[in-house]
Structures are given as C-alpha cells and as structure tokens.
Amino acid sequence: MKKNYKYLKNINFPSDIKKLSVDKLQELSNEVREEMISAVSETGGHLGAGLGVVELTVALHYIFDTPNDKLIWDVGHQTYPHKILTGRKEKIRTLRQGGGLSGFTKRSESEYDPFGAAHSSTSISSALGVAVANKINNKSNNVVAVIGDGAMSAGMAYEAMNNAGASKTKMIVILNDNDMSIAKPVGAMRAYLAKLFSGKIYFSLVETIKLIISAFSKRFSDKASKAEDFFRSAITGGTLFNSLGFYYIGPIDGHDLDVLLPVLENAKNSKHKGPIIIHLKTQKGKGYSYAEKSNDKYHGVSKFNIETGIQEKSKNSTPSYTKVFANTLIKHAEKDSKIVAITAAMPSGTGLDIFGEKFPKRMFDVGIAEQHAVTFAGGLATEGLKPYAAIYSTFLQRAYDQVVHDIAIQKLPVRFAIDRAGLVGADGPTHAGSFDITYLSTLPNFVVMAASDESELVRMINTSVYINDRPSAFRYPRGNGIGLELPSIDEKIEIGKGRLIQEGKKLAILSFGARLSHCLVAAENLKKKGINITIVDARFAKPLDQNLIFQLATDHEAIITIEEGSIGGFASHVSHFLTEKNLLDKGLKFRSMLLPDKFIDQDKPDLMYKIAGLDSNSIEEKVLDTLNSNIVLQKQK
C-alpha cells in the first residue's frame, strides 16, 4: 500500500471495519477503490467488476461476521476489494504475479476465501452446500453468495436456485446486476420498498398471514399465497426468483450504503425459512471515468496509466493467434454464407467481436452457457450450416457431455476453435488449456489439430471449412505468433498428415502444437554438440499420421513426443500405435514430454513452461538422456 490513507491504513481485517461509524464507510470505500485502481494499474488484471462492488464488499464485511459467516464470490475476478480488506492489502501489488496473490478466490490463500473460484456460476451451488452442511452440523453461520448478472446466464445457477428453493435452506444470494436489464431502473420508491420488504415487520406480517391462512382451506391458502407473491413481484420484478423458491428483495442501488446496510442487516436477521435473493443494481467500472466510459468497462486490463487510462501495449508487433483466427474466418465467411460463429460470452476474447461487426446475423453470443453453445452449434450443423464454436480450452471442459453425446456420436460437423491452449500465465491453473487434447482425442469421429505457429493455424482453419462429415477441432495458444507470413485461405492440409521439419539421425521428435519453436532451439544447441535430430510437426493427434510414425520408428533409435497437454493425449495415442505394431519390442526407445501431473501456479508463461519441463533446455536434456549421451549439458544461469 503506497498511500497513507485516512481509514484504510488502519484496516487489516474485517473486524477493523466494524470499529468505524456508518458515516465513515463511504470514505473507506473511496479509499479502497483508489487503492485498487492504483494496484491494478501496476499489475494488470480484472478492473471493472471489482470497482463495481466496492461498497457492497465494505457493507458485507461490516454486517456479517466473516470468516465465520461464509462469503462466496462467483468467478472471483471482482474480489480485489475483498482481498484488500481481508489481510492482503500489503500484497495486493503481487496480484497475478509468480508467487503472488491469485486473481481469483483461493482457499489456500486466505480463510476469508471459503470456496475457490475462477469459472462462472458456481457460487450458489457451493453456498448451498455450505448452508446444508451447517444445518447438518447444527451451525448457525450465515452463508452469502455474490453472483453477477452475466453468471446468471449459465444453467448451473438456475439448477442451484431450483435446488436451494426446494430445500428451504437459509442462505442469502446477492445478484450483482451491472449490465443486463433484469428490472426497471432503480428509484427512491424501489429503495424504500426494498427496505420495507426486507424488514422484520414485513417478514413477521407475512408469517402471521400464513399462519391465519393455514387454518382455512388449501384452495384459499394457495390463492392468498399467490396474491402476496404477485403483489411483491409486480412491484419489484422478482417473479422468476419467487417461482424458484427465493424470497426476492430489490432492485436496490448497490452503491448506496444508506440502503444497502439496512437491507443486508434485515436479511441476516430475518426468520425466513428459505433462501433470500437481494437484487442490486451496480455500475461496472464505478469511480474510474475511463472504465465507466469503456464498452467493456475495463473488464480485463494490462498495466495502464491512471491519469490517461491508456493501457500498456504489447511490444510484440506480430498478430495474436486470436486475431489470426478471426481474420481468417472472416475471409472464409465472405466467400461462404454457411459459416456462422458461436461464442459463450467471450466475443473479444475469442476475436469474434470483429467477426460479429462484419456479419452481425451470423455471430451468436449465447452468454456464459458453454453447454448450450455446443448443442446449439450441433443444431445449426444439422441444417447444413458450418458452425465454428470458439471457446477457450478451459471453458470447453464445461460442455464435455454435449461434445460427446450431441456432437461426436452424431458425427455433426461442428468446428471447435480452441483458444488459450496450454499454459496461460497470470490467470493460472484455472484457465490453463491442459486437458483438451486428451478429452477430445479419445472421442470417435473427431479430427484434432494443433497449430505450431500462426501460418499453420491459417491452414488448419482452411482445412476445417471442408470437413463436413464429422466434428473437428484446432487448438492454438494465447499470445502472439512468431512472425511468419500468413498463407492464403486456399492452402489446406491433408487430414492426418504431419510435416517433416528437419532430418537427422538416431532420434526423432514428434511435436504436437506450439512447442515446435522450442524444439528447433534445442535442435540447434544439440547440433553444436554433434547431435543431429529429426523434427516433425505432427499437426494431428487424431487421426495420427501412422505411415510417418512407422517410418520414424523404423529409421531411428528413439522417438520423443512433445505436447502442451496432460497425460492421456497425443503421446498416449502414439504409444498405443507403436505398441500395436510391436515396434517397441524391437528396441525402439519412446519418451514423452507433456504437462506434469499437477496444477501449475500463475507466473510468466515462459517460467511456467520451464517449471513444466517443456522449455528448450528441458527438451535438450531429454534428448541427451534418451540417447544416454555422456555430453554434459551446461545449464543456463
């Protein structure tokens, strides 16, 4: 913490907030907001979401007894103010850095993070689990889940609400509505009604009426109950939540502490037997003008200048893989009207925002709903369209059942553009694309490709356009290409054919994906030691280039596979093939290099790959070890 704030300097834990009078909480909120902007300007990260919940964060820790009361944040990208107030303010400038604070909630980081997050729409489910456990363990702790309106677009949130309402378990859900119009704009009357409907008198009145009604016929009881629900819902817009078994309060201004504090206090102390949902209207990017004016409210930012709002640009002049994908798809879509694109709430992250600008009627953002996105793409494919589902590797995991049952079994030609393949740096293990090679290559009827560079990505997109008899996927990493000239959209790849990069003796490397450039660096170093190796860009994990692999096994003493994925992927398929052909019985050495069996914490991508043992030095060492060479590798300092 760089600045000597008036109030924040004395706040180390939530218990310190409670020492302040209510009229000082807005000033504390202003200081938290200022500190967060200052910190993120140095580290980069998620900015807009956290700015929008500063007052809410202060109010929650003031009203509730955290960490005894459990506060569960959805996704967790809005928890920077929460971290500042829960013993982590001195480390806030280590956000998303190696050895520093996670950009999300993390159980091992603090007792104030009762449930780890990073993927959307999990808070209500986990909070219900905690609340039910409290009931079983005879605990009276409060459980509060904070979920954004974007996260409410996922089916999991509604599954959880349906279960919570039916179970009649006491818990509080805060709906942080900062974008979509669930209700009419907040006004003074609505704030007044929210306080009224959350108050003890109203709760007591409702319970009294229900006791009186219970003495009469069920028919009358049902009508009276529906009348009460209709009256409250008609004013506040909570019909959906009421029907799911939640007691609805709101909408209220999430930045107005005079309203927010009593509503939270009333909800905490209510005797209502069942879940309560409090609907807040907030402003994403609140308190920082550049964020408020931005279309994405500065959702995710690199380092930036606080005074100008200008973000630090990458020094790499080569285009990102994401942009190469988007621009190539646009070129094909200009020629082929059947090409459509689907994203699950990540239009800018996947590059489909520029596709949507060009073809607004052919780009579909379905919200945070990967399961729906995949099956929706399947439906499009049945009618002869050519759907491209652009989904991060880590998020596609959420739709695996749909990939299997709705796409693979039916052999529907959905094209999966898998961004963020491999390790992704500051977002850490929750966002790493570690498992897609394994979980897709195991499926019948799939074509699975990995781009070694941006020019290969173009060729794979070109190829996928014409795969009309089965699903296909091509994966590519986060970040920029290596600076190669891009081919035309007419250059395709023969399905299941790898390419020979260089020929050598004794040992061959089969590289699947973007580690190819590191293989070439290792090969150059080995050449200086008198060792010449063969390098192949495998291109396909499925179908394998069996003829090429058979030839490599015949002509070399050893084969090493390299991939940016977990065990069970490309190496497993190559090993299976070699075993079936009895090639390993003839003295062939086979080794695999892949992501280790652990989750790798956030850091710079190069350091993460070094930890994973997939950098050029590690490749060089693996070659020497495999060949039982006596040459001692001089490690870089």
pLDDT along the chain (637 residues), means of 10: 90 97 97 96 94 97 97 94 97 96 95 93 96 94 93 90 94 86 45 61 56 49 50 56 88 93 94 92 92 82 91 86 98 98 95 97 94 97 98 97 98 98 95 97 97 98 98 97 96 98 97 98 96 98 98 97 97 97 92 97 95 97 84 39
- How open is the CA angle 476-599-634, to the nearest 5 degrees? 80
Q: Is 513 left (phi over 0), alpha (psi -120 to 50) or beta?
A: left
User: Of residues 35, 370, 456, 563, which has the active-site annotation?
Assistant: 370
CB atoms within 10 A of CB 336: 11
28 vs 54: CA distance, rounded Å: 10
Tokens of 30: 């202003």
* Cis peptide, bond prior to residue 81, ω within 30 of zero: no
User: Of residues 88, 232, 281, 284, which has the active-site annotation?
Assistant: 284
Kindly report, residue by residue over 146-175, the tens digit of the pLDDT. Answer: 998 888 888 899 999 999 999 999 999 999
Let me know: does 288 contact 183? Beta carbons within 8 Å.
no
Q: What is the SS3 assignment for 297? A: coil
268 is an active site residue: no
* Cis peptide, bond prior to residue 67, ω within 30 of zero: yes
Contacts of 347 (CB under 8 A, 6+ apart): 353, 356, 363, 365
- Whole-number pLDDT of residue 101: 96
**C-alpha of 377 from chain center:** 20
Let me know: does 559 contact 589? Beta carbons within 8 Å.
yes
475 is an active site residue: no
- Whole-number pLDDT of residue 384: 97
User: Of residues 398, 415, 515, 622, which has the active-site annotation?
Assistant: 398
Question: Is the CA virtual torsion 59, 63, 66, 72 positive or negative?
Answer: negative
- Whole-number pLDDT of residue 234: 46
- Whole-number pLDDT of residue 483: 94
- Lookup result for tokens 């800018």: 348
398 is an active site residue: yes
* Domains detected in the chain: 8-187+276-292 (3.40.50.970), 321-475 (3.40.50.970), 499-626 (3.40.50.920)
Helix boundaries (H) for 137-256: 155-167, 188-198, 200-214, 218-236, 239-243
